[in-house]
Amino acid sequence: MTLLIDFIVIALLIVGIWQFREPLRAKHGNLTAALALFLAIILVLYRHGIVDIGTVVLALTVGAIAGIALARAVSMIQVPAMVAFQHGAGGIAAFLVSLVELSRATPALSLVSEISGVLGLAIGSLTFSGSMIASAKLAGKMVQSPQVVTRHNLLVIFNIAALVIVGTLSLLIPGGIAPYFFVLEIVLGICFGILLAIRIGGADMPVLISSLNATAGLAASLCGMVIENQLLIAFGATVAASGSILTYVMCKAMNRKIGKIIFPDYKPEQTIAKTTAITVQPPKAETVPTDTTDLFPRAVAAIRTAGKIIIVPGYGMALAKAQQEVATLAEDLTAMGKDVKYAIHPVAGRMPGHMNVLLAEAGIDYDMLVEMDVINPDFHLTDLVIVVGACDVVNPAAIEVEGTPISGMPILMAHEAKKVICCNFDRLPGYSGVDNPLYGQENTIFLEGDAKETIQLLQQSLVEETPAQTPLPASHTTSKAVAALAAARSVVIIPGYGMALAKAQFKLVELAALLEQRGASVKYAIHPVAGRMPGHMNVLLAEADVDYENLLEMEDANQLFGETDVAIVIGACDVVNPAAIESEGTPISGMPILHAQDARQVIVCNFDTNPGYSGVPNQLYNNRKAILLLGDARETTLNLFEKLKEITV
């Protein structure tokens, strides 16, 4: 009966993992696997006669609360680092359990259990240290490029030999001395994990993560052998097998052998410089123009004329949190009758399936995601490729240049398309350190800057009927706005319903406080009908602890605008629309407004340039004094605050 119950629980775990094969079922797979693990915990506690149920419940509660809090706090961009951290937690648990069991005086362990325990010490400790290094790299707490110490390969070989020798001796020496050897084995394992992980970086990180997944499972399985628990053996073996398969898939995707990743035959620091010298071609003026006012209309025109479009997402999209904007752009393109697909490189991002998760989060139909092997033959027939924050996975140097960290790695053949638009932050190499010749191709339009802002402007330009007045990328206007704020001595803030929708009032108050610290006078101009109820703005600003004396009624504020250096509009439209006093026959004609246009400079932090609820286009947007910062008002305000903080008084 015991064996049958164990088989049922193990089968439940396998069913859960099986559901991971399809994204739509993955959530249920997680819940199923979690249920299997919970049942396993109950069975283990029951069979070992643990009677102090209070301690068990307390431990489970503390662990569950910590896990839930961590999961809720972690953003999608931090998931790879969290996954690596969890592997490390599995490793430390494995070698601690092995240490306790091996150090027990009674009952005596069998030889198989002792060998398993020593292996658990070594593999668990190397998994712990390797995962912590990987997590620190992915979280940006360490240098992410491969790091090589003097005689690295020799140190790795000595470390492996020491692990074998110390592990063997710990099995042969008397019990009183053995614990010292067990501890030494753990120290050697930690050193090996560090030596292994620091030399892996960049494009190889998904391989490192998947291999640590495998070693964490193996360590758990060895623990199961030490304590003679078949459930832990089976669960650990399942994780080890899936991690090993994933590692194989990642290695195949990069055309690498795991041995070459552990013992690379290149020296990253020196080779990068050499590679740069080989691959970097001096940019030609006609192929790498720097005038973005020319590039942006060209990009919009390329999109309008394209029939078949492939979008290539990369880690930069995750960093810019641009997946939702990419999804919106794709929806608009599809509505315009264009054939749109997403090309997914297996190692794009920082863990296997990273792009799939991000795009699924944005609600993109899974049928639009196409794997590399399937979509590569289509690139030369494609009118346009839009690269969003991807570099190494579309770098032709991988197939054209020998001796680089990515040489031989299969890539998405974006360079074969008729046109390519690159929405990357800059032209610097990716994590491999290898320059990307794609950026300099004649058929490439490089839109440098924040990917989210770039995609938003592309999408906005496409839906406008008259794209001739295409705005500059927001990175330019943001700098202009920050410069205006830095020089301002009087600022009037105009909040609107958009501020409430974006929940931007708290960040707005922080920005106002910073302006006051810099010596500026800051007031808030309140229109009587701003918001969705009388006094709406007053309530929101009071919630954010704005002094009531700083709130000005419309009549008082309008007398100030002529002497105001900067007026900041936050999510307001109709109440600052000059059309109300300049145009006849509109729904707002004759309505008193806040005269923001009288200020020396106007910064508009609205979501878009669409009309407000009145449906009347806002003439303020076309005022030469206006600086448009489009997008989420809360993020815009935070961005202004961060950049203004960097400017010394």
What secondary structure does DSSP assign to 452-501, as a single string? HHHHHHHHHHHHSS-GGGPPPPHHHHHHHHHHHHHH-SEEEEEE-HHHHH
CB 301 within 8 A of CB 462: no
CA 292 to chain CA mean position, Å: 27
* Amino acid of residue 423: C
Among candidates 374, 364, 368, 414, which has minimal Cα distance to 391? Answer: 414
The sign of the CA dihedral 191, 193, 198, 200 is positive
Q: What's the farthest any 2 CA atoms get from each other in the chain?
A: 99
Among candidates 206, 234, 212, 208, which has minimal Cα distance to 222? Answer: 234
Please give the angle made by the CA atoms of 210, 216 and 221, to the nearest 5 degrees: 130
Query: Which residue in 332, 339, 373, 392 is the catalytic one?
Result: 392
CA 432 to chain CA mean position, Å: 18
- Specify the long-range contacts of residues 541-544, CB closer than 8 Å, at least 24 apart: 541/495, 541/505, 541/509, 543/505, 544/505, 544/506, 544/508, 544/509
In sequence order, the 6+-apart residues with CB closer than 8 A to the CB of 629 are 474, 477, 478, 481, 603, 604, 605, 636, 639, 640
Among candidates 227, 311, 284, which has minimal Cα distance to 40? Answer: 227
What is the b/e burial string over 346-381, where b = at least 16 CB atoms within 10 angstroms of the residue's CB? bbbbbbbbbbbbbbbebebeeeebeebeebbebbee
Report d(CA 430, CA 448) in Å as an integer. Answer: 14
3-state secondary structure of 553: strand
* Amino acid of residue 527: H
Report d(CA 576, CA 605) in Å as an integer. Answer: 13
Q: Going by DSSP bridges, is the β-strand pair 339-344/601-605 parallel, antiparallel, or unpaired?
A: unpaired
Strand partners, 495: 570
Report d(CA 489, CA 463) in Å as an integer. Answer: 38
* Amino acid of residue 85: F
Tokens of 252: 């195949």
Report d(CA 558, CA 560) in Å as an integer. Answer: 5
Among candidates 244, 242, 243, 220, which has minimal Cα distance to 233? Answer: 220
Report d(CA 206, CA 314) in Å as an integer. Answer: 13
Q: Is 392 a catalytic residue?
A: yes
CA 307 to chain CA mean position, Å: 30
CB 405 within 8 A of CB 268: yes
Tokens of 381: 């027939």
Among candidates 550, 571, 554, which has minimal Cα distance to 490? Answer: 550
Catalytic machinery residues? 392
